[in-house]
Amino acid sequence: MAQDYYATLGVGRDATPEEIKKAYRKLARQLHPDVNDAPDASERFKEVTLAYEVLSDPSKRSMFDRGGDPMSSGGGFGGGAQGFNFDDIMDAFFGQNAQRGPRPRQQRGQDALLRLNVDLAEAAFGVTHEIKVDTAVTCTTCDGSGAANGSQPETCRTCHGHGDVQHVQRSLLGDIRTSRPCPTCHGFGTVIPDPCPECAGEGRVRSRRSLSVTIPAGVDQGTRIQLTGEGEVGPGGGPAGDLYLEINVARHPMFQRKGDQLFCQVTVPMTAAALGTQMDLPTLEADVPDSDEADRTVLLDVAPGTQSGDTITIKGHGVPRLRGSGRGDLKVQVVVETPSRLDDEQRALLEQLAALRDEQRPDALIGANHKGVFGKIKDAFK
């Protein structure tokens, strides 16, 4: 008496082919010996595979529904499983068929990455650069077809245009068929008997081209700019990939950048720090040739009594924001310079000042919380 194949798969006798296939996938995932080490897993896997072999074939299913056993003439499972397609097991584990049949010659090209060096002012205010790109472009001789003039791709005689070939392997489950890309046409289903002499059938050639690139204001170190469709053309003249530009910002001799803020240091004499002063401070616009003259400097107001390490903030003179409006600030750290050489008259004047301020022998300021000039400068950069 033949086994009840419907009961084996857990479906009713009126089950649709899709329901039968769905039930088999579920059971195959549970019972496959590679994922189930139960003692009876292998035998049960054979049973559900045999049941699916019968119920997925309309003629075998019809014979079974009439009371016959379509597998009896094969001498059990080994004979009945002849011709079993391994792709059904792959369906069970991956949920759908892998891509089969000929694949198109036209494929999307790869993305490309270039590093672009800019200075700080160019990164801050934006710039347009002309760059050279070595990449693959569509062959103009064959327009991407890969075939010489007057010729056309022909159907592969090995796979007859299917793009893959069948291999049969004996196993405990019977004959298992697997599909592999055709070694003659490499899965395309067609061959090019007369390749284009310029691209050797590839449909694309290497070439150097110029590209005008606009760098937006506010980019920073490591920023990547995507240029859609400016990468490599794909095989067979397929669509081009994207080109990515990674920004590398050169070190500036005066300014340091952190986000949208700029930092610099200014050294002032001891007397200027004590009495207060004003000075013209160069801005980042000074590095831009066509900038307005008035924007190239900003007035720095050093208040009387400014200490070494104090920070003066100048609003709106930092870096323009990349994804927003306005600019950051310019932060200036003041370093007070103490004279190291004095003539007699200068020494006498300082001694008079020290006497007036009762500072001939000042008390030392010692404490864990007291920060010197370098500590203040370090804190300003945090």
- Token pair recorded at residue 186: 């490499």
- Indicate whether 1 pLDDT > 50: no
| C-beta of residue 190 within 8 angstroms of C-beta of residue 161 | yes
Percent of the chain with pLDDT over 90: 52
Show the tokens assigned to 10: 């857990």
pLDDT value, residue 74: 45
Where are the alpha helices (H) located in the chain, listed in sequence order? 5-9, 17-31, 41-55, 58-65, 77-80, 86-94, 120-125, 270-275, 344-356, 373-381
Phi, psi (deg, nearest 5) at residue 22? -65, -40
Q: What is the arithmetic mean of pLDDT over 352-370? A: 74
As a whole number, the mean pLDDT across the chain is 84
Rounded-to-integer distance, Cα 138 and Cα 235, Å? 9
Residue 199 annotated as lining a ligand binding site: yes
Res 304 pLDDT > 70: yes
Mean pLDDT of 298-317: 96
- Assessment of whether the complete model's pTM goes beyond 0.75: no
Tokens of 181: 């890309």
Whether residue 60 has pLDDT greater than 50:
yes
pLDDT at 203 over 50: yes
Q: pLDDT tens digits for 319-337?
A: 999 988 899 999 999 999 9
Higher pLDDT, 26 or 74: 26
Q: What are the structure tokens assigned to 239, written together?
A: 């669509």
Higher-confidence position of 86 and 150: 150
Give the orientation angle of helix 41-55 with respect to helix 17-31, to 10 degrees.
170
State pLDDT tens for residues 341-351. 999 998 999 88
Residues 162, 145 contacting (CB under 8 angstroms): no
Determine the pLDDT at residue 46.
86
Q: Is the pLDDT of residue 273 over 70?
A: yes
Confidence grade of residue 3 (pLDDT, cut at 50, 70, 90):
confident
Tell me the pLDDT band of 282, cut-offs 50, 70 and 90. Answer: very high
* Residue range 67-82: mean pLDDT, rounded: 53
pLDDT digits (tens, 9 = 90+) for 211-239: 999 999 999 999 999 999 999 999 988 99
Is the pLDDT confidence value at 93 over 60? Answer: no
Residue 2, pLDDT > 80, answer no
DSSP 254: S
Confidence of residue 245 (pLDDT cuts 50, 70, 90): very high
Residue 103: pLDDT band (50, 70, 90) is: confident
Please report the pLDDT score of residue 63 as a whole number: 83
Task: Flag whether 139 is marked binding.
Answer: yes
**37, pLDDT greater than 50:** yes
Burial 250-281 (b: 16+ CB within 10 A, else e): eebebbebeebbbbbeeebeeebbeeebeeeb
CB count within 10 Å of CB 45 equals 20
* % pLDDT > 70, the chain: 84
For residue 280, give the nearest of 310, 296, 300 by alpha carbon. 300
Q: Is 264 annotated as a binding residue?
A: no
- Tell me how many helices (H) and strands (E) the chain has: 10, 15
371 has a pLDDT exceeding 70: no
| Candidate from 103-107, 167-171, 179-183, 275-279 with smallest mean pLDDT | 167-171
* pLDDT for position 72: 64
Which tens digits make up the pLDDT trace of 107-148? 999 999 999 999 999 999 999 999 999 989 999 999 999 999
